[in-house]
C-alpha cells in the first residue's frame, strides 16, 4: 500500500452542491495554501495546452471543393460521353446509310422531338406523367413509412407480413395492370394502384433495413440518457435509420416511375390522361421509330434529372454529415 500523501490536495474548485462536503473532508485534508492553488492552476493550464496541441496534431482539416469545381467534376464526364455517343451514332448513319425507318439518326430523332413539342403533345405527356408519378410516390411514402416503422418495431407483424412484402417487392408491378383494369376500369385509379404496389414495398423495406442497421449501442445510449420509447424512436432510431430509409425512397421512386410507364403503355383510352407511356404506345402504332426513340430519351432524361436535382443533393448532405462519402459523386 502506498504512503498517503494527500495532505496537499486542494478542494476549493470542487462543486460542493454536487457532493456532501463531509465526505470530501473524509478523503482529503483541505489545504488553502496559495502556492498550492497556483500549482494546480498551472497544471490545469499546462494540460490544456497539451491537449490542444494533441488535438491539432490529430485532426486533419477537410478541404471542401468549390461548388463550381464540383459541378464541373460531376457534370463534365457524362456530358462528354453523351456528345461522343451521339457523334458516333450520327457518323454511323452517314457512313452506313441504313433504312431511316429502322435506324433513324440523331437528327431525325431531334426533328421528331421538335415536332412533338410544337404540337404540344410532349409538354402534356411530361406534365401528366410527372404529376402522376409525383403524387403516386408521395402517397406511397405516406403509406410505406408508417408501415415500415410498424414492421421494424413490432416483431409479430414483421414475421407475418415481412415475407409477403419482400415477395411483393420482387413481383413486377406490371403484373397488377390487368387486375387493376378489371377493378378500376380505364381510370387514373388503375395507374395509381400499380404505382403504389410497386413503390410501397421498397419504401417500407428500406426503412426496416435502416432501422435494423442502427447500432445497438446508440439505443443503449438513448436509454442511459433517459429517453422514453417515443423519444428513443424520434430522436435516435429514426435519424440513425435515415441512410437506409433514403435508399428505400430512391428505389421507391424508381419503381413508381417504371410502374407508371408500364401502366401507361398498357392502359390507353377511358379517362386516363395522355402520359409519356401513352405517347410511346401511340408512336409505335404509327410505326414512327424516331418519335419512339425521342420519347425514350425524354423518359430517360427525366429519370436522370430527378436523381441529380432531387435525390443526389439530399443524399450527399445526409452521408457527408455522417462522415460517409457517396460513391461516384465526390
Partner 1 sequence: MAGQSAIQIDAVSKRFTPTGPLVLDNVSLTIEPGDFVCLLGASGCGKSTLLNIIAGLEHPSSGSITVASGNAAVMFQDSALLPWLTASRNVELALRLRGVPRARRRSEARELLDVVNLADAAEKRPHELSGGMRQRVALARSLAQDRQVLLMDEPFAALDAITRDLLHEELDRVWRETGRTIVFVTHNVREAVRLGQRVLLMSSRPGRIANEWQVSGDAHRRIESPEVSRLSAEITDQLRQEIRRNAA
Binding site for partner 1 (CB under 8 A): 1-6, 8-11, 13-16, 18-20, 22-24, 26-28, 40, 43-44, 47-48, 50-52, 54-55, 58-59, 62, 217-218, 220-221, 223-227, 231, 235-236, 239-240, 242, 321-323
Nearer to partner 1, 3 or 328 (CB): 3
Nearer to partner 1, 15 or 97 (CB): 15
- DSSP notation for 102-143: TS--HHHHHHHHHHHHHTTHHHHHHHHHHHHHHHHHHHHHHH
- CB of residue 31 to partner 1, shortest distance in Å: 11
Taking Cα atoms as reference points, which of 138, 129, 88, 175 lies closest to residue 300?
A: 129
- CB of residue 318 to partner 1, shortest distance in Å: 8
- DSSP notation for 143-177: HHHHHHHHHHH-HHHHHHHHHHHHHHHHS-GGGGH
Nearer to partner 1, 79 or 224 (CB): 224
Is-contact 158 308, C-beta < 8 A? no
- CB of residue 19 to partner 1, shortest distance in Å: 4
Please state, in angstroms and rounded to a whole number, the distance separating the CA atoms of residues 122 and 280.
Answer: 11
Nearer to partner 1, 107 or 218 (CB): 218
Count of C-beta atoms within a 10 Å radius of residue 189: 14
Nearer to partner 1, 4 or 285 (CB): 4
- CB of residue 15 to partner 1, shortest distance in Å: 5
- CB of residue 209 to partner 1, shortest distance in Å: 18
Q: What are phi and psi of 251, to 5 degrees?
A: -65, -40
201's grid cell: 414495398
- CB of residue 313 to partner 1, shortest distance in Å: 17
Placement of cell 430527378 in the chain: 306
79's grid cell: 456530358
Nearer to partner 1, 1 or 102 (CB): 1
Amino acid at each position: 500500500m502506498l504512503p498517503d500523501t494527500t495532505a496537499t490536495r486542494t478542494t476549493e474548485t470542487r462543486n460542493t452542491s454536487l457532493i456532501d462536503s463531509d465526505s470530501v473532508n473524509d478523503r482529503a485534508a483541505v489545504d488553502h495554501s496559495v502556492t498550492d492553488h497556483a500549482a494546480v492552476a498551472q497544471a490545469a493550464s499546462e494540460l490544456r495546452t497539451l491537449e490542444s496541441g494533441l488535438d491539432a496534431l490529430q485532426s486533419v482539416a477537410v478541404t471542401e471543393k468549390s461548388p463550381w469545381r464540383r459541378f464541373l467534376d460531376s457534370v463534365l464526364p457524362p456530358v462528354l460521353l453523351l456528345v461522343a455517343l451521339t457523334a458516333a451514332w450520327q457518323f454511323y448513319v452517314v457512313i452506313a446509310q441504313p433504312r431511316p425507318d429502322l435506324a433513324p439518326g440523331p437528327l431525325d430523332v431531334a426533328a421528331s422531338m421538335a415536332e412533338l413539342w410544337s404540337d404540344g403533345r410532349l409538354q402534356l405527356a411530361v406534365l401528366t406523367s410527372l404529376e402522376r408519378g409525383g403524387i403516386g410516390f408521395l402517397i406511397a411514402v405516406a403509406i410505406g413509412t408508417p408501415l415500415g416503422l410498424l414492421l421494424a418495431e413490432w416483431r409479430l407483424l414483421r414475421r407475418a407480413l415481412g415475407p409477403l412484402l419482400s415477395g411483393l417487392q420482387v413481383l413486377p408491378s406490371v403484373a397488377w395492370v390487368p387486375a387493376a383494369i378489371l377493378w378500376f376500369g380505364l381510370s387514373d385509379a388503375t395507374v395509381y394502384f400499380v404505382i403504389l404496389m410497386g413503390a410501397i414495398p421498397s419504401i417500407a423495406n428500406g426503412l426496416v433495413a435502416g432501422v435494423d442497421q442502427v447500432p445497438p449501442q446508440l439505443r443503449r445510449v438513448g436509454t442511459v440518457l433517459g429517453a422514453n420509447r417515443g423519444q428513443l424512436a424520434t430522436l435516435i432510431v429514426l435519424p440513425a435509420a435515415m441512410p437506409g430509409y433514403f435508399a428505400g425512397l430512391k428505389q421507391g421512386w424508381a419503381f413508381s416511375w417504371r410502374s407508371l410507364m408500364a401502366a401507361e403503355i398498357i392502359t390507353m383510352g377511358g379517362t386516363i390522361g395522355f402520359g409519356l407511356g401513352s405517347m410511346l404506345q401511340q408512336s409505335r402504332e404509327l410505326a414512327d421509330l424516331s418519335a419512339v426513340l425521342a420519347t425514350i430519351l425524354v423518359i430517360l432524361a427525366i429519370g436522370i434529372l430527378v436523381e441529380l436535382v432531387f435525390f443526389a443533393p439530399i443524399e450527399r448532405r445526409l452521408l457527408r454529415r455522417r462522415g460517409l462519402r457517396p460513391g461516384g459523386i465526390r
